[in-house]
Amino acid sequence: MANSTNPSTPRQVIWALGLFWLTIGLAVAKLVISLATPAAGHHHGVVIVSFLIIYGLMALAIVYIQQGTGWARGVMLTLFLLGIAPSLPIAFEHFGRFPVAATLTLAQGVAQLGGFYLVYGNPGNAWFRRPATG
């Protein structure tokens, strides 16, 4: 994974990357579930375009995190905060009708929180603050 491009990547960062990629995998599962249900007040096209934009940005941030760029952690955290605020109330509301999708949303949040703990805690944080060589 990350060790193929940078052998000095701490194990904690590698685990965090796995958790971040897991959140995208869970999002794909939620997208499939969403598309399998009748559109409720919105078109499936809006859902697909939104998914591609949001998770495309997340994937780009994950790639940059893998390369050791500190600003990408901030982008990922910002995307998380913008997404979690509206998602949690909806997830709790949907447990009765869509328990699998709601559970996947909560699992995404837990995985991302774990990933942030690993990249902002040491030794992950220190790896992002390493001095530039050159």
The whole-number pLDDT of residue 44 equals: 76
- Residue 108, exposed/middle/buried by CB under 10 A (0-12, 13-18, 19+)? buried
Q: Give residue-wise pLDDT tens across range 81-95.
A: 988 888 778 777 878
- Asked if the model's pLDDT at residue 105 lies above 50, the reply is yes
The pTM (predicted TM-score) of the whole model is: 0.84
> Between the CA atoms of 124, 21, 49 and 113, what dihedral angle is there, to the nearest 10 degrees?
-50
The residues spanned by each domain of the chain are: 18-128
Q: Give residue-wise pLDDT tens across range 1-31.
A: 444 446 688 999 999 999 999 999 999 998 8
